[in-house]
Structure 1
């Protein structure tokens, strides 16, 4: 399926009926031959947007998968790059593909909701992973990111504009999320992967509560929608120099 090197329909079915961790362990050897891997043009666009903001010293790729995002960090970090993921299978593939040159690279098995690091990073990036977290988990997730960043550090991730209601993409994502909800209602363990739960307004509020000031940067490589708004933006959230206050109002600048 997808390509001759990609997973078969049977392999995808076995993955979908597994836990998230076990599913990605099974998918790891063929993951880069599926549409789930972040496209290179997205990675390149993010790297270009981050380069003027750096250089950074140490970077973390959160939920790194097979390590595609580590290449972005290698372009903007001088000293070290760390990839963290809770799938041993994905990390195994990432280790095999570690580039021989550039900053030192390490791979750590860890749950993003309980990161085993102190404030050791100047930049945290993440690509395509937020659908694995329920909305109620965002405060804890963003709090973990804040805890591993040095004061003034940066948390960056791309966000695509939601598809227009009634479009083919809209119905495709709605259908996928509905199927996943039915699957999780009928089958255990659950497989959390939803495309429509990571809403920018909610994200802005939770970032502010976690101690970030977030701004949006258009990625011009992807053009604009008919209304003139960018198709893809980069969220750049800066960690405040002081601990976050509770409660706090959130905002994301456009």
Structure 2
């Protein structure tokens, strides 16, 4: 479906009819050849924006998948970088794909659920790329509380947010249709496969971050330009853990 190295339509169907964890275990060997993997252009833009706030000592890639965000952290962090994901298959690919950088931070990989992180306040920077569609809106307070708990006071939580498509556009109807299909699937089959692209609104996200104890700043990523109304197409959210 996504080229010769990507998954077939049948493989995607099997994934979608599985649980989220099992689905990503199955998709892991081909994940980097799908549009679900965060593009390098976004990773690089976030790295450039974060460089203004660094350097950092320790970093955590939340829901790291095959380790794309770990590469960003390896540029930012001097001491150690940890990737955490609940898919054993994704972590196995990440271990093979991301080598220990010579003279760089120590790398570690941990299998865990982002809603129950097995760490104390050990990190200066947490990043996440493309994972929030797998959390229901009511799960955001707990997720952000978990992130708050693993950051040292003054630590940062950073992630990119793409502006929603213009109502009536092709992208708008595509995302609306995808979410509708997933809701029907989850209404008739268990376990659920939570993947909703339109559930992560910036206003609510900012509110929940502030409730969890963060001071929130928004940075436009100029590499992606602006919409007709002048607003950025892509922003980086940078949330600082308050004492």
Compute the TM-score of the two structures, normalised by the length of structure 2. 0.98
* Corresponding residue number in structure 2 for 1:123: 125
Q: Distance in 2 between matches of 1:159 and 1:126?
A: 11
Matched, 1:23 2:19: no
Q: Secondary structure, in 3 states, of the residue corresponding to 1:124? A: strand
Q: Secondary structure, in 3 states, of the residue corresponding to 1:189? A: coil
* Corresponding residue number in structure 2 for 1:237: 239
Q: Distance in 1 between matches of 2:234 and 2:220?
A: 6
Residue-pair matches, total: 241
Q: Distance in 2 between matches of 1:79 and 1:37?
A: 26
* Corresponding residue number in structure 2 for 1:201: 203
Matched, 1:217 2:206: no
* Corresponding residue number in structure 1 for 2:54: 54
* Corresponding residue number in structure 1 for 2:105: 103
| Unpaired runs of at least 5, structure 1 | 242-254
Q: CA RMSD in A?
A: 0.5
Q: Secondary structure, in 3 states, of the residue corresponding to 1:52? A: coil
Deviations 1:81-108 (A, max 9, x none): 0000000000000001122322111000
Q: Secondary structure, in 3 states, of the residue corresponding to 1:122? A: strand
Cα deviation for residue 3 of structure 1 reads 1.1
Deviations 1:76-134 (A, max 9, x none): 11111000000000000000112232211100000000000000000000000000000
Q: Distance in 1 between matches of 2:5 and 2:234?
A: 29
User: 185, 188, 193: which is aligned to 1:183?
Assistant: 185
Q: Distance in 2 between matches of 1:51 and 1:3?
A: 34
Q: Secondary structure, in 3 states, of the residue corresponding to 2:52? A: helix
Question: Structure 1 residue runs of 4+, over 6 Å off?
Answer: none
Q: Secondary structure, in 3 states, of the residue corresponding to 1:235? A: strand
Q: Distance in 2 between matches of 1:65 and 1:98?
A: 11
* Corresponding residue number in structure 2 for 1:72: 72
Compute the TM-score of the two structures, normalised by the length of structure 1. 0.94
Cα deviation for residue 31 of structure 1 reads 0.2
Cα deviation for residue 238 of structure 1 reads 0.2
Q: Secondary structure, in 3 states, of the residue corresponding to 1:131? A: helix
Structural mapping, 1:111-150, within 5 Å? 111-150=113-152
Q: Secondary structure, in 3 states, of the residue corresponding to 1:145? A: helix
| Unpaired runs of at least 5, structure 2 | none
Contact 2:100 2:106 in 1 (8 A): no
Q: Distance in 2 between matches of 1:182 and 1:15?
A: 16
Matched, 1:87 2:82: no
* Corresponding residue number in structure 2 for 1:173: 175
Q: Distance in 2 between matches of 1:206 and 1:20?
A: 24
Contact 2:71 2:98 in 1 (8 A): no
* Corresponding residue number in structure 1 for 2:154: 152
Q: Secondary structure, in 3 states, of the residue corresponding to 1:234? A: strand
